[in-house]
């Protein structure tokens, strides 16, 4: 499954927009999964989609699946989730996927403290990109099943998330964020994470409406 969809990404014509190549997605929220290579993005995507563990290979292009929310207000909501290759040479491509996205899922290997600074750098770069201004970010603190996995509170500090919020959640430019502990292999925390992301998306829309009203 993984290699088929990878192939689709690699074979796409140069002039074809990624969205043009997909069936109509009206009413579907667009979500992009980012994070360093090996953080567990593809495992999380297929666990969300098929509710089972699928063996992954490093993602060269992208994988894309429609996923339905199962909990809370996100129940029944469709998300089109893009899983983009995380290797260093592929990261410049992230920009093309985050354009016009409703939400970002930043997947983190909660054990890999050595690469936490690198993860922070990429997260900050993503958050500061003008294209992503105000887009809610779910930080999926993955691999919580492993010994030594850092807890959300500690990850919040290590990643400097307070600064990432910038002007605060009440500003359309600042980022709302949420740290969700998860294990992509068992699926623990994944749907809770999507629910938290959905709540942030709704909140952002509400704020945007209020701002519009005030401006009138």
Question: Which residues are marked as active site?
Answer: 87
Q: How far is the CB of 4 from ligand G3D (least distance, A)?
A: 15
Residues within window 149-188 making contact with ligand G3D, judged by CB under 6 A: 183-185
Q: What's phi and psi for 141, nearest 5 deg?
A: -80, 85
Residue 132 as a binder of Mg ion (CB under 5 A): the answer is no
| Binding piece for ligand G3D, criterion CB under 6 A, among 65-73, 142-150, 153-161, 208-216 | 142-150
DSSP string covering 74-131, please? Answer: GTT-EEEEEEE--SGGGGGGHHHHHTT-SEEEEEEETT-GGGHHHHHHHHHHHHHSGG
Alpha helix positions (H), the chain: 2-10, 41-50, 94-98, 116-128, 152-158, 161-164, 190-215
Pick between residue 143 and residue 204 the one whose CB is nearest to ligand G3D.
143
Q: How far is the CB of 85 from ligand G3D (least distance, A)?
A: 7
Residue 126 as a binder of ligand G3D (CB under 6 A): the answer is no
Residue 43 as a binder of Mg ion (CB under 5 A): the answer is no
Strand partners, 68: 78
Contact residue for Mg ion among 42, 101, 142, 180 (CB under 5 A): 42
Determine whether 216 is exposed, middle or buried from the number of CB atoms within 10 Å of its CB (0-12, 13-18, 19+).
exposed
| Binding piece for ligand G3D, criterion CB under 6 A, among 52-60, 93-101, 121-129, 164-172 | 52-60
Contact residue for ligand G3D among 48, 105, 143, 192 (CB under 6 A): 143
Give the one entry of Mg ion, ligand G3D, none that residue 183 binds, where binding means its C-beta sits below a cut-off of 5 to 8 angstroms depending on kind. Answer: ligand G3D
Are the CB atoms for 191 and 48 separated by under 8 Å? yes
Neighbours of 116 (CB within 10 A): 19
Applying CB under 6 A, what is the total number of residues that bind ligand G3D? Answer: 20
Pick between residue 28 and residue 43 the one whose CB is nearest to ligand G3D.
43
Q: How far is the CB of 135 from Mg ion (least distance, A)?
A: 21
What is the rounded distance in angstroms from the CA atom of residue 211 to the CA atom of residue 209?
Answer: 5
According to DSSP, the β-strands at 78-84 and 177-181 are unpaired
Q: How far is the CB of 41 from Mg ion (least distance, A)?
A: 5
Q: Which residues bind Mg ion (CB under 5 A)?
A: 41-42, 59
């Amino acid at each position: 499954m993984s290699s088929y969809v990878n192939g689709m990404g690699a074979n796409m014509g140069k002039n074809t927009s990624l969205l043009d190549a997909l069936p109509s997605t009206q009413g579907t929220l667009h979500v992009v999964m980012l994070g360093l290579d090996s953080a567990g993005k593809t495992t999380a995507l297929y666990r969300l989609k098929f509710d089972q563990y699928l063996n992954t290979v490093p993602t060269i292009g992208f994988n894309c699946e429609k996923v339905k929310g199962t909990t809370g207000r996100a129940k029944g909501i469709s998300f089109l989730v893009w899983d983009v290759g995380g290797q260093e040479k592929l990261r410049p491509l992230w920009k093309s996927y985050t354009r016009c996205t409703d939400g970002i899922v930043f997947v983190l290997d909660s054990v890999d403290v050595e690469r936490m600074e690198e993860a922070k750098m990429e997260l900050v770069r993503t958050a500061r990109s003008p294209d992503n201004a105000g887009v809610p970010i779910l930080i999926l603190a993955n691999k919580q099943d492993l010994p030594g996995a850092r807890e959300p509170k500690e990850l919040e500090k290590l990643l400097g998330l307070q600064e990432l919020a910038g002007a605060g959640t009440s500003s359309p430019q600042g980022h709302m964020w949420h740290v969700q502990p998860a294990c992509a292999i068992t699926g623990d925390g994944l749907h809770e994470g999507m629910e938290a992301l959905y709540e942030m998306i709704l909140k952002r829309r509400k704020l945007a409406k209020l701002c519009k009203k005030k401006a009138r």
